[in-house]
């Protein structure tokens, strides 16, 4: 399910992020990456619409020129008797 779109205003752009991650716990439902906070160049923080499982990590190093690309880490299918998590991590890359 897609949540509502969030974006910086027209005069600003994304410069940093913080990902909420649920740590590995083999005794419960594995959810991995659950939410994201994004920082705009005008210092406005955008809050994702994800789940509350896990904790937010540190903010990424800021990209003064903005974020231009995203790389995702996705767990491969674990089979019929294992819990799949899907998105596990992201890297964002600064514009040149």
Q: What's the confidence (pLDDT) of residue 72?
A: 81
In a domain, 68, yes or no: yes
Structural domain of 37: 14-94
**What is the CATH classification number for the domain harbouring 18?**
2.100.10.20
Q: Number of structural domains, the chain?
A: 1
> CA-to-CA distance for 84 and 3, rounded, in angstroms?
21
| pTM to 2 decimal places | 0.78
Q: What does the DSSP assignment read for 6-33?
A: ----TT--EEEEEEEEPPP-TTS----E
Burial class (CB in 10 A: 0-12, 13-18, 19+), 19: buried
CB distance 41 to 16 below 8 Å: no
Q: What's the confidence (pLDDT) of residue 3?
A: 79
User: CA 73, 48, 66 angle in degrees (round to 5)?
Assistant: 70
- Alpha-carbon torsion 42, 56, 3, 96, what sign? positive
Residues lower than pLDDT 70 in the chain: 1, 24-31, 75, 78-86
In a domain, 6, yes or no: no
């Amino acid at each position: 399910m897609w949540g509502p779109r969030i974006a910086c205003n027209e005069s600003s752009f994304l410069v940093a992020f913080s990902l909420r991650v649920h740590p590995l716990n083999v005794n419960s439902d594995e959810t991995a990456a659950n939410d994201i906070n994004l920082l705009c160049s005008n210092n406005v923080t955008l809050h994702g619409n994800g789940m509350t499982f896990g904790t937010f990590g540190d903010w990424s190093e800021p990209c003064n020129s903005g974020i231009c690309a995203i790389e995702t880490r996705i767990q491969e299918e674990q089979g019929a008797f294992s819990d799949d998590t899907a998105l596990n991590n992201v890297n964002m890359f600064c514009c040149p």
